[in-house]
């Protein structure tokens, strides 16, 4: 799935120069990719290793930690580009915002499996997309 993420966000960046619009397009493309999986997302090793950490040695746990940090850095970079052009409506720590991308995806996988509703994952990504859009909309003064 990592290559699917990279491909979608890279394609969005190639199509749109504006960092916010590029990120929103990347989320839309990712949602469409995940909607196309007939039985939903097969699961996630990151979540499995966290839930069953006693089954994995320290090296695997550290690899998992480094993967999560790599996702944080990737999405932090995207949000930093957006924040160089747009102002946040509310103050957020950029790392927390970056982690929220992974949280929505991981949580969406769990939700879709628990409910046996494969569309829950792509729908959660679209809800997050709307959140990001609202987060960077200019404040309207009356």
Q: What is the CATH number of the domain that holds 119?
A: 1.10.357.10
Answer positive or negative: Cα dihedral of 60, 30, 32, 116: positive
pTM: 0.81
**Helical pair 19-35 and 120-135, crossing angle rounded to 10 deg:** 170
pLDDT at 138 over 70: yes
Q: Is residue 56 part of a domain?
A: yes
CA neighbor of 9 nearest in space, from 85, 1, 138: 1
Token pair 């695997």: residue: 60
Q: What percentage of residues in the chain have a pLDDT greater than 90? A: 44
82 domain-assigned:
yes
Counted domains in the chain: 1
**Residue 140 counted as domain residue:** no
Query: What tens digit of pLDDT does each residue of 81-135 get?
Result: 999 999 999 999 999 999 999 899 888 888 888 888 888 999 999 999 999 999 9
Q: Is residue 23 part of a domain?
A: yes
pLDDT given at position 67: 85
Structural domain range at position 27: 2-135
Q: b/e per residue, 18-54, with b = 16+ CB within 10 A?
A: ebbebbbbbbbbbbebbeebeebbeebebbebeeeee
Length of the chain: 142
In a domain? residue 59: yes
Tell whether 52 is covered by a domain: yes
- The reported pLDDT for the residue numbered 115 is 87
121 Cβ contact list (under 8 Å, min separation 6): 34, 40, 41, 105, 108, 109, 111, 112
For residue 37, what pLDDT band results from cuts at 50, 70 and 90?
Answer: low
Kindly tell me if the per-residue pLDDT of 1 is higher than 50. no
- Tell me if 142 is assigned to some domain: no
């Amino acid at each position: 799935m990592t290559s699917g993420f990279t491909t979608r966000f890279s394609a969005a960046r190639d199509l749109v120069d504006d960092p916010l619009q590029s990120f929103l397009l990347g989320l839309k493309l990712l949602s469409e990719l995940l909607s196309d999986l007939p039985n939903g997302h097969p699961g996630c090793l990151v979540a499995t290793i966290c839930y069953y950490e006693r089954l994995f040695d320290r090296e695997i746990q550290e690899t998992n930690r480094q993967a999560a940090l790599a996702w944080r850095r990737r999405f932090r970079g995207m949000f930093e580009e957006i924040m160089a052009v747009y102002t946040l409506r509310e103050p957020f720590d950029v790392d927390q915002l970056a982690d929220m991308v992974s949280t929505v995806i991981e949580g969406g996988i769990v939700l879709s499996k628990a409910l046996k509703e494969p569309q829950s994952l792509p729908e959660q990504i679209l809800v997050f997309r709307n959140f990001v859009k609202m987060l960077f909309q200019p404040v309207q003064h009356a």
